Structure 1
Amino acid sequence: MLRWLLLIPFALLFAMGTGLFAMMAASVVSPGIALLIGGGVERLLDALFGLAENGIDPTPAAQAAVSLLGRLGLAIIVAPVVLVAVGSELFRLRSGLIQSGLTGLLAALLPLAMLRLARTPTSAELQVISALFLIGAAMGFVYWLIAGRGAGGERSVTG
């Protein structure tokens, strides 16, 4: 029980922090990720200030943007590692490869599903998807290092 109350939440928080760090590192290496993080925020601020300068209340647009950013953050950083961690604990999946791979897969696919990408991604979008996979894999690996190797608690030995 102590595992569910302390170790797993600690491992999840640490893995999510790793995901944020990995996203920042990816933005240094990848222009697509940098544009996604920095360019998107810059464009958003320009649009909001442009609305305010024209006498239009920017509050609804700001609320919609914050809501979308929150959902994307949830889909990229929080949901993949939490879903895989709970699944690995319930099904006693102790493999680091499974936890890293599934977390990476979910981190790459959940944002696409949320944005309803119904066309073939461009090469720049594929680069972003690949970076999201690696970010998710890093989160899954960190979770596995801290808590995943003992997923599901101790196995009973029958003999």
Structure 2
Amino acid sequence: MLRWLLLIPFALLVAMGAGLFAMLVASVVSPEIALLIGGGFQRLMEALFGLAESDIDPTPVAQAAFSLLGRLGMAIIVAPVVLVAVFSELFRLRSGLIQSGLTGLLATVMPLAMLRLSRAPSEAEMRVIGALFLIGAATGFVYWLIAGRGAGAARTVPTGAPRR
């Protein structure tokens, strides 16, 4: 029980921090990710300040934009590692490869499903998709390092009781 109350939440928080760090590293290494993160944020700020200068209330646009950013952050960093952690704990999956791979796969698929990409991705979009997979895999790997190796750990059996 202590594992579910302390270790798993701690591991998830550290893994999410590692995912954010991996996203930062990806933005330094990949111009597409840098443009997606930095360029998108810069354009958003320019649009909001442009609306304010034109005496138009930027609040609805800002709320919509930050809501979308929050949902994308949840889809890339939070939801994949939480879902895989719960899945691995319930089914006692202790493999780092499974946890990293499934988290990377979910970190790739969930944002694409949210954005409803209905065409074949371009070469630059494929690099972003690859970076999303690596960010998710890094997040899953850090979770596995802290708590995943003992996923679904067997409960201790009292002395003298028959083992199942």
1:24-35 counterparts in 2 under 5 A?
24-35=24-35
Runs of 4+ with deviation above 4 angstroms:
155-159
Q: TM-score, normalised by structure 2?
A: 0.94
Q: TM-score, normalised by structure 1?
A: 0.97
Question: How far does the alpha carbon of each residue in 1:57-114 deviate from its partner, in whole angstroms, 9 at most, with x for none?
Answer: 1000000001000000000000000000000000101100000000000001100000
Rg comparison, structure with higher value? 2
Q: Percent identity?
A: 81
- The answer to whether residue 91 in structure 2 is matched with residue 91 in structure 1 is yes
Partner of 1:21: 21
Partner of 2:44: 44
The separation in 2 between residues aligned to 1:118 and 1:70, in whole angstroms, is: 22
Q: How many Å apart are 1:13 and its aligned residue? A: 0.3
Partner of 2:107: 107
Q: Which SS does the other structure have where 1:119 is aligned?
A: coil
- The answer to whether residue 71 in structure 2 is matched with residue 82 in structure 1 is no
Q: How many Å apart are 1:154 and its aligned residue? A: 1.8
Gaps of 5+ in 1: none
The separation in 2 between residues aligned to 1:110 and 1:156, in whole angstroms, is: 37
Q: CA 1:95/1:133 → structure 2, altered by over 3 Å: closer, same or farther?
A: same
Name the count of aligned residue pairs.
159
The separation in 1 between residues aligned to 2:35 and 2:29, in whole angstroms, is: 11
Q: How many Å apart are 1:155 and its aligned residue? A: 6.2
Q: CA 1:109/1:85 → structure 2, altered by over 3 Å: closer, same or farther?
A: same
State the AA in 1 paired with 2:136.
G
Gaps of 5+ in 2: 158-162
